[in-house]
Amino acid sequence: MNRELEALILAYEKVSTSKDKDAERHLFDFELLLDKVMERQPRISRDLLRQGDIKAHRKWAVQQDRKGIYMKISYDPEIDALYIRFVEGKRECRTVRLNEEVALNIGEGEELVGIEMLDARELLGSGKVPAVMLEGLESAAAPLLLQDKPAKKYGAS
């Protein structure tokens, strides 16, 4: 990746992740960087350059190993529990119970780590484990694989 494109992608990352007063400053910095690239590449239209950078940023963001990029949904049929994990890796969490069946795991900085559902088949109303449909999202792995949870061998070494 060339340095100009990388700089544009990183500048757009700041724009897309900033909030409130920082957003304006980051947008201004991004626009200045676009101007500099336009000076060196006068045949490229500003809109085309901006659209290309946004597409490149999307691809870059998916490739990054950042928390929050993907979620993992797992189901344990032995205890009929469904868990949706938003953050990979072990975290120290506090549990906030919404009711007897649903709990939120909250990590450091009030980050939502996961959602646990007990009696999942009954809670989700079908008596079966529901199919997963992605709407407006891409699968992290193509093709989508359904994996059985490995059987637990208690007492085995």
* For helices 21-40 and 46-63, angle between their N-to-C axes, nearest 10 degrees: 120
Using CA atoms, how far apart are residues 105 and 116, in angstroms rounded to an integer? 8
In this prediction, residue 144 carries a pLDDT of 43
Residues 6 or more apart from 114 whose CB is under 8 A from it?
83, 84, 85, 86, 87, 93, 104, 105
Using CA atoms, how far apart are residues 92 and 108, in angstroms rounded to an integer? 7
Kindly report, residue by residue over 103-154, the tens digit of the pLDDT. Answer: 999 988 888 899 999 988 888 776 666 677 777 666 654 444 444 555 544 4
Position 5 confidence tier, pLDDT thresholds 50, 70, 90: confident
Using CA atoms, how far apart are residues 27 and 49, in angstroms rounded to an integer? 15
Kindly report, residue by residue over 79-99, the tens digit of the pLDDT. Answer: 989 999 888 778 889 999 999
In this prediction, residue 94 carries a pLDDT of 94
| C-beta atoms surrounding 57 within 10 Å | 19
Residue-range domain boundaries for the chain: 3-63, 72-123
Kindly report, residue by residue over 37-78, the tens digit of the pLDDT. Answer: 888 888 888 888 888 888 887 777 766 654 445 678 888 888
